[in-house]
């Protein structure tokens, strides 16, 4: 069940030279809601989430978080606003363990008055915190694997999603979270997304896997050529309609 409006994008427009990547795109997502963003390659999906997450700056349009206008001009500002994004490459450090990946760039260190390079890492506290997150989200990780590079694709994806969930106070954005995963690993990631919804987190999912969208999403918007061309409830009855919107069969 969705709750209060968390994120609102209105009239988002972005150009790269002569290419109009986003053409007055609007969307919203509520707390405890999973919104699927669908569309073929080149539809503008990745540009949209990169604008929301601060990688690109909008040429025009507005982004509101909890009803308050947000000037998101870099990823740090987006994270401060409670927006976390998991891209397809996951951005994990294969040579580090899950705890180090959880806190990469957010390491807890003392004393705070010293320069960062001279502080002591609170490794025990960070390990305890990451274990609490993993337990809360019911993620199964191998106990004897020292680095994430030795883990399965599903486990790596789960770590990336859990890291975002740990620090996202408002929105988690997932770019193709089940791409290149097997059935069992995809199941783990889908269950994790459903648990985020149960915890009241707003989730935006970009996916080409229609079966997965049907299972986890509350609403689906379809983009084509930089515009939102339709919105449907992702049910079996609406599947053909969604596919038609994606491929342009309604033109």
Q: What is the pLDDT of residues 87-120, one digit of tens each?
A: 877 678 888 888 888 787 777 766 766 676 667 7
In whole angstroms, give the CA distance from residue 126 to residue 108.
7
Residue 9: its pLDDT value, please?
A: 97
Q: Which residues pair with 36 in a beta bridge?
A: 205, 220
pLDDT at 248 over 80: yes
Token reading at 33: 């809601």
Conformational region of residue 82, where left means phi above 0, alpha means psi within -120 to 50, and beta covers everything else = left
Token reading at 182: 């097997």
Task: Return the residue matching tokens 């648990």.
Answer: 195
Residue 17: its pLDDT value, please?
A: 94
Cβ burial, residue 81 (10 Å; 0-12/13-18/19+): buried
Contact 47, 22 (CB under 8 A): yes
Residue 235: its pLDDT value, please?
A: 94
Residue 5: phi, psi to the nearest 5?
-65, 125
The DSSP call for residue 119 is S
Token reading at 21: 């990547």
The DSSP call for residue 98 is H
Global confidence as pTM: 0.83
Average pLDDT, stretch 201-230? 95
Contact 195, 171 (CB under 8 A): no
Contact 86, 177 (CB under 8 A): yes
Give which of 152, 124, 126 is closest to 139, Cα–Cα.
Answer: 152
Give which of 42, 5, 43 is closest to 27, Cα–Cα.
Answer: 5
Contact 63, 8 (CB under 8 A): yes
Token reading at 35: 């919104």
Domains located in the chain, CATH noted? 5-247 (3.40.50.300)
pLDDT at 173 over 80: yes
Contact 200, 3 (CB under 8 A): yes
């Amino acid at each position: 069940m969705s709750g209060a409006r968390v994120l609102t994008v209105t009239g988002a427009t972005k150009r790269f030279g002569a290419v109009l990547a986003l053409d007055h795109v609007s969307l919203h997502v509520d707390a405890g809601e999973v919104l699927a963003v669908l569309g073929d390659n080149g539809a503008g999906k990745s540009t949209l989430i990169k604008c929301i997450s601060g990688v690109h700056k909008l040429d025009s349009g507005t982004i509101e978080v909890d009803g308050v206008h947000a000037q998101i001009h870099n990823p740090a500002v987006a994270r401060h606003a409670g927006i976390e994004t998991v891209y397809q490459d996951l951005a994990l450090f294969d040579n580090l363990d899950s705890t180090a990946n959880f806190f990469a760039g957010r390491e807890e260190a003392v004393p705070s008055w010293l320069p960062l390079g001279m502080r002591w890492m609170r490794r025990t506290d960070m390990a305890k915190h990451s274990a609490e997150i993993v337990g809360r989200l019911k993620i199964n990780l191998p106990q004897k694997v020292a680095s994430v590079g030795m883990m399965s694709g599903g486990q790596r994806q789960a770590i990336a999603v859990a890291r975002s969930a740990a620090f996202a106070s408002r929105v988690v954005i997932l770019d193709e979270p089940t791409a290149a995963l097997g059935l069992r690993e995809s199941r783990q990631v889908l269950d994790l997304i459903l648990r985020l919804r149960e915890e009241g987190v707003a989730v935006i999912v970009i996916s080409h896997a229609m079966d997965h969208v049907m299972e986890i999403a509350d609403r689906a918007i379809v983009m084509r050529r930089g515009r939102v061309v339709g919105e449907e409830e992702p049910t079996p009855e609406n599947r053909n309609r969604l596919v038609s919107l994606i491929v342009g069969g309604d033109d």
